[in-house]
C-alpha cells in the first residue's frame, strides 16, 4: 500500500528500516540527534535507536568520515551525514584515499560498506560555500558509487540499497527536494544502483538529467511537446556506475541529446555523458549534443542572481530547440 510522503520522510524511513533490520547499521553526523539534522531528516531517530547508534559528532568532516571508514572495516554499516555537500571537501582524503581504495589495497580482504549522505545544490540563497553541486568530483574515483535520486520513491529504494552495498556510496540529496511529495509503498523495497529510468518515451531528442534538474527538465519536455517536439526523458538516478545502455539506446533512437545538471559545465556530469555519446552514437546523430548547467561562477547569495546562473525551464527549453534545430 502506498501513501504520500516527502523526500525527507522517505530518506528517514530508509534509514530507520535498515537500522531496524541490522544492528550493525549506525548513523553518524553533526546535529543528527536531538536537533534532528540540519534539514530535519533524522528527526526521531535518536529516540528510537539511542545514542549508541545515532552518534552526534564534533564539527570535523574528515574525522566523521574517518570514523565511518574504520567502523566499516570493523564490520559495521555506517551512514555518515555531511551537513552540506560543500563541507565534503574537508573529507576528501578519507573518501578518495581510504574508503574508495581499501578493498583494492587489501586484495578484497576488507570491504568498506559506507554510505555518505550529502545535501547538495542551490536555490535557498545560502551562498557560495553552502550551495554547490560537486557531484562530478566523485566520478573520477574508482571504488566509489554515486547516487542522486530525484524523488521520494527512488530516494528510499536507492538509499536502502546503498546501505546494504559492500562498497562506499556517495548519496546526493538535493536540498530543494526535501519537501517534494510522492506516493511511496509502505512495504520495504530496494532499487538497483546503476539503473536509469526512462520517464517519457520520445523520438526527437533525448533529455538526460537527475536530481532537482530532472523536475525542470520534465517541465521543459512538456513545453517542447506543445511545440511538436517529442522528448525522451531519462532520469539517471545513479551517476556512477552510469546506465550507459539506456543512454546509448535512447540517443541512437533520437539522434540528439540535451544533458542537464545543476553543477558547473566544465568537466561536469554532462561532459562525461557527452563524451560517451560521441564515442558510441556519433554515426546515429542528426542533431546536436547540448549541455545545460550552472554558469561558471560561484553561487551567489542574492536569490535573483542565484536563479540567473542556474539551469531553468527556459534554458532547457532553448537547449532542446538548439539540439533539434541547429540553425537557431
Query: DSSP labels for 53-74?
Result: TEEE--S-HHHHHHHHHHHHHT
**Calpha distance 116→111 (Å, rounded):** 15
**Calpha distance 260→270 (Å, rounded):** 7
The closest alpha carbon to 163, from 26, 307, 308, 318, belongs to: 26
Rg (alpha carbons) of the chain, rounded to whole number: 20
Q: Which three cell numbers stand for residue 40?
A: 530535519
Residue bearing cell 570493523:
74
- Nearest-10 crossing angle of helices 152-164, 7-21: 30
Is omega for the bond preceding 61 within 30 degrees of 0, making it cis? no
Backbone torsion region of residue 175, taken as left when φ is above 0, otherwise alpha when ψ lies between -120 and 50, otherwise beta? alpha
The residues that are catalytic are 61, 130
- HSE toward the beta carbon, residue 323, CA cutoff 13 A: 29
Helical spans, DSSP H, in the chain: 7-21, 45-49, 61-73, 92, 102-105, 152-164, 211-226, 244-254, 269-280, 303-309, 313-324
The 10 Å CB-count burial string (b at 16+, else e) for 301-314 is eeeeebeebbbbbe
**Calpha distance 143→141 (Å, rounded):** 6
Amino acid at each position: 500500500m502506498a501513501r504520500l510522503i516527502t523526500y525527507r520522510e522517505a530518506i528517514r524511513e530508509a534509514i530507520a528500516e535498515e537500522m531496524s533490520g541490522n544492528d550493525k547499521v549506525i548513523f553518524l553526523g553533526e546535529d543528527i540527534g536531538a536537533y534532528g539534522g540540519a534539514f530535519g531528516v533524522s528527526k526521531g531517530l535518536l529516540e528510537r535507536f539511542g545514542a549508541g547508534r545515532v552518534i552526534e559528532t564534533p564539527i570535523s568532516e574528515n574525522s566523521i568520515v574517518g570514523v565511518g571508514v574504520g567502523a566499516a572495516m570493523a564490520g559495521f554499516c555506517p551512514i555518515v551525514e555531511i551537513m552540506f555537500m560543500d563541507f565534503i571537501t574537508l573529507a576528501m582524503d578519507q573518501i578518495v584515499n581510504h574508503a574508495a581504495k581499501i578493498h583494492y589495497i587489501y586484495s578484497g580482504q576488507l570491504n568498506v560498506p559506507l554510505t555518505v549522505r550529502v545535501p547538495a545544490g542551490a536555490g535557498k540563497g545560502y551562498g557560495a560555500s553552502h550551495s554547490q553541486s560537486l557531484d562530478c568530483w566523485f566520478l573520477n574515483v574508482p571504488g566509489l558509487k554515486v547516487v542522486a535520486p530525484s524523488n521520494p520513491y527512488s530516494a528510499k529504494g536507492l538509499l536502502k540499497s546503498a546501505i546494504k552495498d559492500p562498497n562506499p556510496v556517495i548519496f546526493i540529496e538535493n536540498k530543494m527536494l526535501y519537501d517534494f511529495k510522492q506516493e511511496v509503498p509502505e512495504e520495504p523495497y530496494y532499487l538497483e544502483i546503476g539503473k536509469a529510468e526512462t520517464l517519457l518515451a520520445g523520438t526527437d531528442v533525448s533529455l538526460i538529467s537527475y536530481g532537482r534538474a530532472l523536475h525542470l527538465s520534465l517541465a521543459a519536455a512538456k513545453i517542447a511537446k506543445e511545440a511538436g517536439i517529442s522528448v525522451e526523458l531519462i532520469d539517471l538516478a545513479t551517476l556512477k556506475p552510469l546506465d550507459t545502455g539506456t543512454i546509448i539506446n535512447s540517443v541512437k533512437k533520437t539522434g540528439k541529446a540535451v544533458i542537464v545538471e545543476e553543477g558547473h559545465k566544465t568537466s561536469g556530469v554532462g561532459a562525461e555523458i557527452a563524451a560517451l555519446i560521441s564515442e558510441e552514437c556519433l554515426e546515429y546523430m542528426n542533431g546536436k549534443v547540448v549541455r545545460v548547467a550552472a554558469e561558471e561562477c560561484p553561487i551567489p547569495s542574492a536569490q535573483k542572481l542565484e536563479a540567473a546562473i542556474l539551469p531553468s525551464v527556459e534554458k532547457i527549453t532553448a537547449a532542446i530547440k538548439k539540439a533539434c534545430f541547429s540553425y537557431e
